[in-house]
Amino acid sequence: MTKLGEILAKKSVNKSMVARKTGLSKARINELTMNDTAKLRLDEMYLIALAIDSDPNEMMLRLCEDLRLKDTI
């Protein structure tokens, strides 16, 4: 399960409802929540955040919390 999948599960969100509200297909929602190699686009993240009544900024921070800049010397 991806971080997005964890967020939706924690909020007990129905993926079909998210698909209807965002206009994304159920297959795309499933891919984004189950496939770690799926790339979530910014517009998709924003629509999903709105659909589940979440702050898009907080969602972005949660989804990107493991990202770090590479060390440079």
In this predicted model, what pLDDT tens digit does every residue of 28-55 receive, in sequence order?
A: 999 999 999 999 999 999 999 999 999 9
What is the mean pLDDT of the segment spanning 55-59? 97
What is the mean pLDDT of the segment spanning 5-14? 96
Q: How confident is the model at residue 72 (pLDDT cuts 50, 70, 90)?
A: confident
b/e code 2-26 from CB counts within 10 Å (16+ = b): bbbbebbeeeebebeebbeebebee
- Both tokens assigned to 25: 């297909």
- Distance between CA atoms of 48 and 4, rounded to whole angstroms? 9
pLDDT mean across residues, the chain: 96
Q: What is the per-residue pLDDT for 60?
A: 96
